Structure 1
Amino acid sequence: MTRDTIALIGPPAAGKSRVGKRVAKLLDLPYVDTDAVVVAGHGPIAQIFAEHGEPHFRALEREAVAEALRRPGVVSLGGGAVLDRDTQADLGAARVVLLTVRPEAIAKRIAGGKRPLITDLESWKRLVASRSELYASLADYTADTSSRPIETIADEIAQWVLASEAQNPDPQNPDPQTEGPA
Structure 2
Amino acid sequence: MTSPADGVGAVVLVGPMGAGKTSIGRRVARALALPFTDTDAEIVRAHGPIADIFVRDGEERFRALERDAVRTAVERPGVVALGGGAVLAPETRALLRAHRVVLLDVDETAIAHRIRGQKRPLLNGGTDPVAEWKRIRDARAPLYAEVADAVFDTSRGPTQGAVDRIVAWVRGEGPADHEPSARTARTEEDT
Is 1:121 matched up with 2:130? yes
Is structure 2 residue 77 aligned with structure 1 residue 72? Answer: yes
Are 1:48 and 2:53 an aligned pair? Answer: yes
Structure 2, unaligned runs of 5 or more: 5-9, 180-191
Instruction: Letter of the 2:166 partner, please give it.
Output: I
Once the two structures are TM-superposed, the CA of residue 108 in structure 1 deviates from its matched residue by 2.1
The SS at the match of 1:163 is: coil
Q: Which amino acid aligns with 1:180?
A: D
> Which SS does the other structure have where 1:57 is aligned?
helix
2:36 to 18, 31, 42: 31
2:145 to 126, 136, 149: 136
CA RMSD of aligned residues (A): 1.7
Q: CA deviation at 1:181?
A: 5.9
Contact 2:166 2:176 in 1 (8 A): no
Deviations 1:102-156 (A, max 9, x none): 0011112112342111131110010011011111121111011111211111111
Equivalent residues, number = 169
Contact 2:38 2:80 in 1 (8 A): yes
CA contact (8 A) 2:105 2:154 kept: yes
Q: Which residue of 1 aligns with 2:97?
A: 92
Please give the secondary structure, in 2, of the residue aligned with 1:98. Answer: strand
TM-score, structure 2 as length reference? 0.84
The answer (yes or no) to whether the contact 2:70–2:82 under 8 Å persists in 1 is: yes
Name the counterpart of 2:189: none
CA contact (8 A) 1:3 1:93 kept: no
Residues 2 and 163 of structure 1: CA distance in aligned 2, closer, same or farther (over 3 Å)? closer
SS of corresponding position for 2:119:
coil
Q: How many Å separate the matches in 2 of 1:62 and 1:26?
A: 27
Match of 2:7 in 1: none
- Aligned residue for 2:177? 180
1:75 and 1:135 map into 2 onto residues whose CA distance is: 15
For normalisation by structure 1, the TM-score amounts to: 0.88
Instruction: Name the % identity.
Output: 51
Amino acid at match of 2:142: E
Answer yes or no: is the 8 Å Cα contact 2:15–2:21 preserved in 1: yes
1:109 to 111, 114, 124: 114
Contact 2:12/2:80 (8 A) holds in 1: yes
